[in-house]
Chains A and B, each alone.
Chain A
Amino acid sequence: MAADKVDPIHQFHITKILPIQVGHWDVSFTNSSLFMAVVVILTTAFLVMATSGRSVVPGRWQLVAEMSYSFVANTLRDAAGKSGMKFFPLVFSLFMFVLVANLLGMIPYFFTITSHIIVTFCLAMLVILTVVIYGIWKHGFHFFGLFVPSGVPAALIPLVTMIEVISFLSRPISLSVRLFANMLAGHITLKVFAGFIVTLSAAGAVGMAGSILPLAMAVALTALEFLVAFLQAYVFTVLTCMYLNDAIHPGH
């Protein structure tokens, strides 16, 4: 029990809630799946209920829903232009999913699904595959012009193109690593400082007094984590918009 408390990694353990086996694949319903379902249900319920009133002067909840709408819409319009708005459902879903998942992870004893790289990597692959498929479908072979910068001496074109291709392929990795690393690091730090409080306060009166310091740190970190939760959802959305912009206008 004591070891369990100060183990900062324990919170990321995947536990099977409903073991399911299909052929060779383990498709068990885990705590991660549970929280993904919770995120989706919570987001949908919130948006449906907040906008069901459709009053002209929005109430509190409707205002929040409309603000999130206009926030994502403005971000997308700024980055990808008017024609980018056809991707609004995708971008808005991604933003809400990441944001709600991050915020839900801030509740004690809740599982943070975005602290697992496979989750964030799948989200990033979703974005990149959308970019590639839409880009090829819309512009055909022209889309690959993205990798051949103009104004480069002919002798250098193969080298530069290769670097550009690798740079493009590294996008889903950096996109997913950034979200995952921020959430993981934040939660571990929080847990470590919270562990200090427990350990110190167990060491008598002096420890009790000393534990105020990590307590203050934990409070400050919690505030920071809420900021990071929002900021990372925003960063993910902005980068998605920028990549979609490449697919919509790959240059001519």
Chain B
Amino acid sequence: MIERSPGGDPEPKPAKRSAAATSPAEEAALAARLERLGESLEARRTAEEAEKSRGRSSGFGRATKIASEFVAGVIVGGGVGWAIDRGLGTAPWGMILFVLLGFAAGVLNVLRAEGVVADAGVRLREAGRNSGTPTDRSDG
């Protein structure tokens, strides 16, 4: 088990140890290592940031993302409609209605994945915060 979060605070621990440590040579070596660690952490963080921002523009990744979002909506809509038809014997109306709703949900998924429409949770929280002024973000 890792008991501590090593992300933000690699500095204080070696410092604590160096206070208890003995020779100044060791201290210098530790300081050098510490600096290197800080550098590599920084490099890693910037690399991650770059990857995060690039993740949006990577063509194939984006294509699969959007395609899967849209197809998932249609499939679930069709599935729900089929199940309702089967359960209630309303064929084919359930299927017709829910496939159409599924298309709408697929479009909603895609817009959400692209950040055009705020997430349901986010939107609700915002609406809750400044209640009285309903925020409609769908025009964005």
Contact = CB atoms under 8 A, between A and B. Distances in A.
A246 B102 CA distance: 21
A173 B72 contact: yes
Contacts of A58: 6
A182 B67 CA distance: 12
A56 B61 contact: no
A65 interface: yes
A166 B80 contact: yes
Given A67-B6, A163-B101, A170-B105, A146 B124 contact: yes
11 contacts: A56-B17, A149-B123, A167-B105, A168-B120, A177-B64, A182-B61, A185-B64, A235-B55, A245-B121, A246-B119, A251-B128
Interface stretch (A35-43, A69-77, A93-101, A207-215): A69-77
Interface in A29-52: 51
A145 B2 contact: no
A56 B14 contact: yes
A-B residue pairs, 9 tightest by C-beta: A151-B134, A251-B124, A70-B7, A170-B72, A166-B105, A173-B72, A174-B72, A66-B6, A177-B68
B19 interface: no
A134 interface: no
Interface string B120-140: 110111011001001110000
Interface in A55-88: 56-58, 65-67, 69-71, 73-74
Interface residues of A, number: 45
A249 B125 contact: yes
B35 interface: no
B120 A164 contact: yes
Interface string B48-88: 10010001001011001100110111011100100000000
A73 B7 contact: yes
B109 A174 contact: yes
B65 A178 contact: yes
Contact of A246 (B30, B108, B121): B121
Contacts of A74: 7
B1 interface: yes
A249 B61 CA distance: 29
A168 B119 CA distance: 11
A69 B5 contact: yes
B65 A170 contact: no
Contacts of A147: 120
A57 B64 contact: no
Contacts of B5: 69-70, 73
B73 to A, nearest CB: 5
A170 B76 contact: yes
A177 B106 CA distance: 14
A19 to B, nearest CB: 33
A211 B106 CA distance: 43
Contacts of B6: 58, 66-67, 69-70
